Structure 1
Amino acid sequence: MIKKPEFVSIQNLAVSNTNTKGFTLHADALFKNPNDLGGTLKPDDLKIYINDQEVAQIKSDEFSVPAATKFNVPLNVTIPIDSIIKLRNLDD
């Protein structure tokens, strides 16, 4: 039976760009493929939440999944300042 790759952790998190509209984060998501088969995946519908509120969606290109090993997926996300301000307003 083929299993989904398992999420392990986020590594190498860094802020790469900031401006008045938002900031961009880069990170590597570490996964483990428990299957003896590899392939390719295209992540869809990955979202960033802060305090249960969606603030952004992650963009990722299609990537290779090696068989029976751990692998990294580079992720980039731009978080708009407006979404952070809305969170602040919810706390007031």
Structure 2
Amino acid sequence: MVESNSEFIIMRGDAFFNNPNHVGGQLETEGLKIRINDIDMGTVSSQTFKVPSHKEFSIPLTVNIPSKKLLNLNTLSSILNSVLNKGMQVQYKGDIKYTLFGFSHQYQIDDIQDIKIKL
């Protein structure tokens, strides 16, 4: 979590990839949705990134969670439980588009991570 105000809570993280191929390309998210503790929170945004050849790389992702969404009793309970247990489950689901030499292909992402909260 990097910022919070009356409208949004802003979270940032990195997505890690490995390109074992001889050529690079471009990568962009297309409506990648995020769920925290099985609750829909918002859509991930990122810029288009160049994919290096033969390298591991990461791209920064930003999620703006509407503060109104947190006023829901189930959401508040889930967040409080996450803070007390110092961890939460984050799911990323949607498509990532990879473009190379003018051709593009979409890859479906459905990944769940357990995130530790540092207080």
When the two structures are superposed, what TM-score results if normalisation uses the length of structure 2?
0.56
Partner in structure 1 of residue 33 of structure 2: 47
Preserved contact between residue 53 and residue 87 of structure 1 (Cα < 8 Å)? no
Partner in structure 1 of residue 90 of structure 2: none
Distance 2:2 2:71 in 1: 20
Secondary structure in 2 aligned to 1:44?
strand
Partner in structure 2 of residue 27 of structure 1: 13
For residue 64 of structure 2, the aligned residue among 61, 75, 78 is: 78
Q: 1:86 to 1:35 in 2, by over 3 A?
A: farther
One-letter amino acid matched to 2:16: L
> How many residue pairs were aligned?
77
Moved more, 22-31 or 62-71: 22-31
For residue 69 of structure 1, the aligned residue among 43, 55, 59 is: 55
Distance 2:22 2:40 in 1: 35
One-letter amino acid matched to 2:10: T
One-letter amino acid matched to 2:5: N
- The percentage of counterpart residues that share the same residue type is 36
Partner in structure 2 of residue 12 of structure 1: none
Residue 87 (structure 1) shift: 6.1
For residue 57 of structure 1, the aligned residue among 34, 37, 43 is: 43
Q: 1:82 to 1:66 in 2, by over 3 A?
A: same
One-letter amino acid matched to 2:64: T
Residue 48 (structure 1) shift: 0.9
Preserved contact between residue 20 and residue 81 of structure 1 (Cα < 8 Å)? yes
Ranges in structure 1 where 5+ consecutive residues have no aligned partner: 1-14
Residue 64 (structure 1) shift: 0.5
Ranges in structure 2 where 5+ consecutive residues have no aligned partner: 78-119
One-letter amino acid matched to 2:69: S
